[in-house]
Structure 1
């Protein structure tokens, strides 16, 4: 194949008419402001932007296709498929036609010190946003304000014969109808526009006789200039070739049917990981490449049903999103288990207790600290065997190798916002207790959790100030509660006892109600009812008292966590079900 020249006006004519389109398996836009700005400056500086790859279309298309992003409805039949170069052509089309809602691009001139201070055209991308039905900043749409800033709108540079009237009208408004200034400005814009009308974006043409699988392989190997194809992008292409279906469309269907999935992980990752698990493979990039795509198509409804059930199970355990999920490893395990769940009520309840036991041991042990993918597959296979009545053992249940944490280990766990399994596991136990909001009294829920944030129970300012402690020691999971913004703001600079003064300040609440609501976070109220540190005159004594109270609080809360932790890890539906009481030994006959 030999590269052929094609100027930007011809590219735009092909896009506008629909004679060039994208194979449906092509990924969506992935370029950001940096790549778009870089390409526009490449055009302005007369530099090459690399060759594209197109496939000739004669008669029926070998691939189902779609129009470019921002392109109008096609008026002519498709004659070419753009296999490589989508990001470049789309960026030029959308920026020059002003189709980016979140950014507007301008040309400005800057002295080039390396070439004697000669002015060189540059690109500036201004972020845009909507407020009260108006797009801000409003100066971007006011020619006078733009001209004051010595900017030229990039949309006036488009290689379109209809743009000349727009240019003159814009220049007249920018110069407030000063005829000479307007014509000078118009001449400057037309001079810059020449860079775009004369820009050559060459292409390589694959003949229409090229077999579809060969074109697909070339597409995978050749892509891309700056942002490589993801594993999912590659599988989308292979899936379409194998099944004739669009995996992009199926992913959209998934988010429509199970919209909650996006709260936990990317739908693409959910699809691949569950598909691998269903095939008996560990969820890894290498195994994703080996997926049986025909099977994925045939079992799609089961995969969706599995994800729906998995998320419903997590929500029933008060895990409402990925920010609070201790480890994402469990989600594909649960989804892949769905088909194996017993249908009869009694057996199903037993199976759900086993799944709960698995889930919480995954959250609270070090099982998935290493080799998480392979270990999750081992646990899945063990759970499947258990459902089938084959007790070969489930590795995560091995209490010698993966013991539950001690009180001391709970006290050392870090802040739940960090991606640490045990830290988030501790927060998850607190949410399982109800975690009522201190002000509204509303229990934690899928809708309400987004209004909460992690809050220090012993305030950070107190511990690092009078307590003379390093900040890292304040960020303990046991010193964290998920509270609403109002309580967060009121309590962030006080003493622990300020929680109860909050109740007094809110006469409709009262201190006892605050105590009751704190208990739904598994907070030891007595150890939090401390303060009056300002009465201790000696700074060192004051710091020592604060540190002693803080450690006592952490230990008391860790001890409060022990019973629910053991109950949940035994598969009990805590707090409705606690640990079964040990039977008392029978007295020996005298």
Structure 2
């Protein structure tokens, strides 16, 4: 195979993009550059420095890959003659910046000295937005030629190659620069910038029409030189589309739409790879993802994978586990997805599967099963749990073995750290408390995904109160001293001792002590020890309550 190196000026690239002769293979990920990357690229061109070569695949009578146009380019045109394999970020930024079709940014030529390069001008951008009811994009001054020129700014699309930009610049300059002499002088500077873009050469390497799909894909993976390197997911996307002609991007997008809640727990792009590996009875590793045939198998079981995602989110919501911030370990997500993908549906068989998965979930939270070797253990647990769900005579999974993976005793629960520290046991305690309902201590509202963002981590024995009593921070910031309450409740309690703020709760509720006790019990919080203001007794009693509840869930899968 011969790779030919050739030159091509920017206007020629634009002509091919405009007529849809140059397109992207659809497996290319979407734009990854931020506006800082785009700005740097334009200033590099103004200094007449190279951007590097791009890579294209010549197309014969039939496209080897499904394609799409560059963002912002026409969707119809002439016969497609080449796929852009590497250089998407550069060519997309050039096209969009010089055609002003970014929705949220506009790029300008600033006729001011550039502190970094010493050039008499430079390119930068401003953010753009609309509010409901706006007919124009804000800030409004950026739409006014006079106000732009008062800031020495010229819209960059007026400096693009081509007669159309030339005509628009002349009309703009008549409004922006009333003085004819100044307008002529500025016109010469703008013409110099325009010439820089018009004569800019972006060379390319060309793979011939005879290049096989596999070879083109291999070259694409190895030669990708973008500022954001390809991830494993990007490579799998390419392999799936090359082999099957289907867009994994679109499938994952459909997954997000069908089950929007999954993004609160785990990136869907990663989840489909991990769970798919398990469904193929393979370890969730890069070696598995990049192996020949993985993409085809993923597509073959896509519908059951999607069902697994939907059922997993429903299951987690039923267990009152609502998001990644409060998830003790995320390894459970792909395992549960693979299990729910093939679990029985309806009646006693589904109920039995749910009980088994509930035991698994809470043992994964409270034991150290996933503190190392997570990939191999995830596969092992999936296979063993799948067998138990399918048959009552199957051997018990290793994660259910108390000798290998013991559950914590009360002293370990007492020592668990504040749950924001990403401490598995600390988060497990908080999750278990929310499992009971997590009623707010003042307004009585049940915790839910909808109101969770409005809840805060609250010290049941306020830190200032314990500090005054000489308790060190290491003992104050413990998971057993934490509850999620509304921000209003948190502010209201402030640094009050428990007896005082519980008395206020008694005054504020018509049902008195019974209702306050219920709200506390929904967090597994002991009422009497709180009222007695005994922090040591409180920790010990709450640890006992947590452990009792933990054992019911982990040993028998019992909800109440």
- Normalised by the length of structure 2, the TM-score is 0.90
- Partner of residue 47, structure 2: 45
The match for 2:12 is: 10
What corresponds to 1:399 in structure 2?
Answer: 402
Equivalent in the alignment of 1:560:
545
The verdict on how the C-alpha distance between 1:564 and 1:93 changes in structure 2, with shifts beyond 3 A counting, is: same
Residue 371 of structure 1 pairs with residue 364 of structure 2: no
Q: Output aligned runs, 1:177-216, within 5 Å.
A: 177-216=178-217
C-alpha separation in 2, matches of 1:241 and 1:9? 31
Could you tell me which residue of structure 1 aligns to residue 267 of structure 2? 266
* 1:10 to 1:467, Cα distance in 2 relative to 1, 3 A: farther
Could you say which residue in structure 2 is the equivalent of 1:584? Answer: none
The correspondence for 1:31, drawn from 24, 33, 36, is 33
Q: CA deviation at 1:94?
A: 1.7
Which among 480, 489, 492 is matched to residue 490 of structure 1? 492
Q: Which residue of structure 2 aligns with residue 585 of structure 1?
A: none
Kept in 1, the 8 Å contact 2:114–2:122? The answer is no
Task: Report if aligned partners of 2:304, 2:342 keep a CA contact under 8 Å in 1.
Answer: no
Contact preservation (8 Å) 1:168, 1:182: no
The worse-fitting range, judged by mean Cα deviation, of 364-373 and 33-42 is: 33-42
Give, in angstroms, the shift of residue 493 of structure 1: 4.9
Q: What is the CA-CA distance between 1:560 and the residue it aligns to? A: 2.3
Task: Quote the Cα distance in structure 1 between the aligned partners of 2:550 and 2:25.
Answer: 52
Q: Whole-Å Cα distance in 2 between the matches of residues 266 and 174 of structure 1?
A: 48
| Larger CA deviation: 433-442 vs 360-369 | 433-442
Change (3 A) 1:402 1:104: same
The question of whether the paired residues in 2 share the 8 Å contact of 1:7 and 1:198 is answered with yes
Query: Secondary structure at 2:559's aligned position in 1?
Result: coil
Q: CA deviation at 1:216?
A: 1.2
Kept in 2, the 8 Å contact 1:107–1:152? The answer is yes
Tell me the CA shift for residue 250 of structure 1. Answer: 1.5
SS of the aligned residue for 2:348 comes to helix
Among 438, 444, 451, the residue aligned to 2:454: 451
- Go from structure 1 to structure 2 and tell me whether the alpha carbon gap of 1:99 and 1:393 turns closer, same or farther (over 3 Å shift): same
Q: CA RMSD in A?
A: 2.8
Find the residue that maps to 1:569 and give its secondary structure: helix
Indicate the SS of the match to 1:6: coil
CA change 1:204–1:340 in 2 (3 A) is closer
Q: Secondary structure at the match of 1:27?
A: coil
Listed as ranges, the matches of 1:1-150 within 5 Å are 1-108=3-110, 118-134=118-134, 135-150=137-152
Partner of residue 347, structure 2: 345
- Checking the alignment, whether the CA contact within 8 Å between 2:113 and 2:122 is kept in structure 1 is no
Aligned residues: 554
Look up the SS of the partner of 2:325 in the other structure: coil
Structure 2 equivalent of residue 256 of structure 1 = 257
Q: Deviations over 1:515-560 (max 9, x none)?
A: 53233222233344478xxxxxxxxxxxxxxxxx444433332222
Secondary structure at the residue paired with 1:105? strand
Tell me the residue number matched to 2:435.
432
Q: How far 1:372 sits from its partner (Å)? A: 1.2
- Output the CA distance in 1 between the equivalents of 2:387 and 2:323: 29
Alignment CA distance shift 1:509-1:32 (3 Å): farther
Q: Could you say if the C-alpha distance between residues 361 and 113 of structure 1 is closer, same or farther in structure 2, counting changes exceeding 3 Å?
A: closer
Cα deviation, residue 304, structure 1: 1.1
Which has the bigger relative contact order, CA under 8 A and spacing at least 6? 2
User: Deviations 1:61-120 (Å, cap 9, x if unpaired)?
Assistant: 1211111111122222211111110111111112222222333333336657798xx445
Change (3 A) 1:138 1:480: farther
Is 1:442 paired with 2:458?
A: no
Q: CA, structure 1 residues 321+10, in 2 after alignment: closer, same or farther (shift >3 Å)?
A: same
Deviation for aligned residue 1:561: 1.1
Alignment-derived partner of residue 242 in structure 2: 241
Preserved CA contact (<8 Å) 1:171 1:185: no
- 8 Å CA contact retained: 1:456, 1:492: no
Local SS of the residue matching 2:4: coil
Going from structure 1 to structure 2, the CA distance change for 1:32 and 1:470 (only over 3 Å counts) comes to farther
Paired residues of 1:503 and 1:509 also in contact (CA < 8 A): no
Q: Which moved more, 1:142-151 or 1:302-311?
A: 142-151
Instruction: Please state how far the C-alpha of 1:190 moved relative to its aligned partner.
Output: 3.0
Aligned runs of 1:453-492 on 2, under 5 Å?
453-463=456-466, 466=468, 473-492=475-494
List runs of 5+ in structure 2 lacking aligned partners. Answer: none
Output the TM-score relative to the length of structure 1.
0.86
Contact 2:355 2:557 in 1 (8 A): yes
Cα separation, 1, equivalents of 2:102 and 2:473: 43
**Structure 1's 107 and 393: CA in aligned 2 closer, same or farther, altered over 3 A?**
same
Q: Which secondary structure state, in structure 2, belongs to the residue aligned with residue 564 of structure 1?
A: helix
| 1:503–1:513 Cα contact (<8 Å) kept | no
Supply the distance in 1 between the matched residues of 2:507 and 2:132 (Cα, whole angstroms).
Answer: 36
Partner residue, 1:228: 229
Using the TM superposition, name which of 554-563 and 146-155 deviates more.
146-155
Correspondence for 1:587: none
Is the counterpart of residue 356 in structure 1 residue 341 in structure 2?
A: no
Give yes or no for contact 1:41–1:121 (8 Å, CA) kept in 2.
no
Q: Distance in 1 between matches of 2:506 and 2:130?
A: 42
> In 2, distance between residues paired with 1:149 and 1:3?
43
